Amino acid sequence: MDADFPAVLGLAFGLGLMHALDADHIMAVSGLASARRRGALAFCARWAVGHGLTLLGIGAAVLLLGMAIPERLSAVAEAAVGAVLIAIGAFVLWDLWRRRLHLHFHTHGGLPPHAHWHTHARDRGAHRHRHGALLVGVMHGAAGSAPLLALLPVAGRTAPWFGMAYLLAFGVGVLAAMLVFGGLIGVVFERLSRRGDVLLRATRALVALGAMGFGAVLLHG
């Protein structure tokens, strides 16, 4: 075993922590998680698993099978991520419209009229796209600089297991960062919901518009 093996694994883990918090990653998981008030942690974990499995698959093809990564894979996957970000944002805006709020004024027992926020949307919680975050993670794993970032430090190594260990540590770093982010965003959405649906809806709308804007940038780039 190389003397610098633990240091390289530590580097891989640290790079995974930073890579998980790229803007397009945050936009995607935030948009997916905002569709539910609970479950943000599970969404982020599924995204990280999809991302990590893709990197391991690419790494195995390159390091174990000697295959070359197609030159257009990254560009095509990045464009797909942009399209998915736009779709996620559009879905969130549609869901906000479907659950649109309006004021109802009521009187009870001769008391002065008072208002309630109300929605006529039916709860469709049973219909959940549980695999959405996993598939988005797969696309993110293939897109952009992720494969290059993961494989560059091990390009000169001759032992395939060294590179696979590096990729695994990188994926664990991504998962750890996403679990922390998922926990934080879950707390934020829960607290916003306690302050009223109007504030929560405004936050979801901002997340949706941000995802669509970033997706448009990726498509244009």
**pLDDT of 190 over the 50 cut:** yes
Q: What percent of the chain has pLDDT over 70?
A: 72
Separation of alpha carbons 149 and 16, rounded Å: 9
**pLDDT of 112 over the 70 cut:** no
Which residues contact residue 4 at a Cβ distance below 8 angstroms, ignoring those fewer than 6 apart? none
Lowest mean pLDDT among 92-101, 143-152, 181-190: 143-152
**pLDDT of 28 over the 70 cut:** yes
Q: Rounded to an integer, what is the distance from CA 167 to the centroid of its chain? A: 19
The two tokens of residue 130 are: 């549980």
Transcribe 157-207 into DSSP letters.
---HHHHHHHHHHHHHHHHHHHHHHHHHHHHHHHHHHHT-HHHHHHHHHHH
**pLDDT of 122 over the 60 cut:** no
Who wins on pLDDT, 102 or 22? 22
Q: Say if CB 31 and CB 211 are below 8 A apart.
A: yes
Q: Which residues of 36-60 are buried (b: 16+ CB within 10 A; e: fewer)?
A: eeebbbebbbbbbbbbbebbbebbe
Question: Could you tell me which of 5, 64, 16, 58 has the C-alpha nearest to residue 179?
Answer: 16
**pLDDT of 127 over the 50 cut:** no
Looking at residue 112, what DSSP letter applies?
P
pLDDT at 111: 56
The pLDDT tens digits of the residues spanning 68-109 come to 677 677 778 888 888 988 988 898 888 778 766 544 455 555
Separation of alpha carbons 141 and 213, rounded Å: 21
Domain extent listing, the chain = 41-99+129-221
Separation of alpha carbons 93 and 209, rounded Å: 8
Who wins on pLDDT, 126 or 60? 60
Mean pLDDT rounded to a whole number for the chain? 76
| Tokens 């590096």 sit on residue | 166
The model's confidence at residue 175, banded by pLDDT at 50, 70 and 90, is very high
Which residues contact residue 59 at a Cβ distance below 8 angstroms, ignoring those fewer than 6 apart? 150, 151, 163, 164, 167
Q: Provide the whole-model pTM.
A: 0.76
The pLDDT tens digits of the residues spanning 154-170 come to 655 667 788 888 888 99
Lowest mean pLDDT among 61-70, 113-122, 175-184, 209-218: 113-122
Who wins on pLDDT, 115 or 183? 183
Q: Say if CB 54 and CB 142 are below 8 A apart.
A: yes
pLDDT at 13: 92
